[in-house]
Each structure stands twice: as C-alpha cells, then as structure tokens.
Amino acid sequence: MGHTAHLLEQDWTAYGRCSGEQPDTLFVSGAAQRQARILCAECPVRVDCLVDALDHRVPFGVWGGMTERERRALLRTRPDVESWREVVESEPDLVAPLVRRGRAVRRLAAAPSADDAPATGEQPPG
C-alpha cells in the first residue's frame, strides 16, 4: 500500500471525538475504560475506528467503544474474518450495541436527571 493510500485510509481519525484528547485517555484499564467508552458512544467515526482496530488486531486501548478484552473475544469468535468492514456492514447489530451495553453508558441512561424529579420533592422510582 502506498503512502497516499495509507493516509486516505486513516483520514477518519481527524473526525473522532477523541482527536483532541490525550492518548492516555484511551489507553487505560479498569474503571477508566468506562469513561473512554462514553467518549466513543456518540463518536461519528466509532465504527471506522473499531473496524481499523479489529482489522489490524490492535492489542491495547479502547477503540470504537470496545476494550482490548472485548475485541479479543470478538476476534476469537470469528478468526477467519479478514475485513471487519464487510462484517459490520452486513451485520451491524454485531458491533452497534456494544457501547450501549457498557455499564457506564447504561448507568448514565438510567440515572434520573434533576428535571425528572417530581415537583413535590419525591424521588423518582428506581
């Protein structure tokens, strides 16, 4: 692959929500991975990022909303896949809900906001 083709292939990186973040933000472990996944949740190039990480078997960091452990598990289920782009385009549900299944995102979605509280001062059920 020529240098120009490689640059075009990587163009998506400029549009990631993480493009202005410190790299250490995405190369974390434990609970900090949940925060990285939240950053990925609404990223316009999340699928491109994930496909790139899966195609290149990137061993570290959160890419496309998936941790290295999640990517390894997915790669083990389909060791014969050469182009994850084709898989994602034909089976979008395989990777689309992964970020939403993340514990941190689920907690944020389930947490009542101040606007949800009844005017009487009662706490919302939950």
CB within 8 Å of 106: residues ≥ 6 apart: 100
Tell me the residue type at 24: D
- Of 58, 56, 62, 54, nearest in space to 29 by CA: 62
pLDDT digit string, tens, across residues 44-101: 999 999 999 999 999 999 999 999 999 999 999 999 999 999 998 888 787 765 544 4
At residue 123, does pLDDT exceed 80? no
DSSP 72-104: HHHHHH-TT-S-HHHHHHH-GGGTTTHHHHSHH
Q: What's the pTM value of the predicted model, to 2 decimals?
A: 0.67
User: Which residues are registered as beta bridge partners of 66?
Assistant: 63
